[in-house]
Amino acid sequence: MSDEVSDRQEETWEPVWLVVANVVRWRRWGDFGQELRPGTKAFTGGTKVHVISTYPGFGDQQVWVVGQARHSRRWVDIKMSTRHLHGFRAKLVHSPAVLRRYDWLQVEREKAEELAVKLDRVAREQRLTYHAGPHPDPCLCHACLTGEASD
């Protein structure tokens, strides 16, 4: 075994508080949101992703996330729309795959919890207002499946 491999095995990572969310199972797509698509292009529905940062200039409508890709199951980081995520929560992340990429992150628990609440609110608002048209019948989008659309 080479020294490089043994060095990587000996690396220890300090856990970091991050916001974690899941990709919606179905999302509205197309003209007036009349089509439904499973998950997103990069992630299958239900995939857990870690929010690395937000884009406050866009009102937190875009976030930078890292998660396991749809087809390859490799860890990828991409910018995606907040409306395609749900279940925002603060979580102490121990995963070396995430921490190895973002060892510069230092987030306090309270800040992660505040951001999770804010992103959840933004995502709900976006899901309800992004597509102007009525929902298709039957509709499997996240807002309809969870009852957000009737709130």
Per-residue pLDDT tens over the stretch 91-109: 999 888 888 877 677 778 9
CB 36 within 8 A of CB 26: yes
The three-state secondary structure class of 55 is: coil
pLDDT of residue 21: 96
Residues 6+ apart with CB under 8 A from 40: 23, 27, 70, 80, 84
150: DSSP letter:
G
Is the whole model's pTM more than 0.75, yes or no? yes
pLDDT of residue 103: 67
pLDDT of residue 150: 66
pLDDT of residue 31: 77
Residues of the chain with pLDDT under 70: 1-11, 57, 103, 132, 149-151
pLDDT of residue 86: 92
The three-state secondary structure class of 44 is: coil
Q: Is the dihedral of CA 116, 118, 122, 124 positive or negative?
A: positive
pLDDT of residue 92: 93
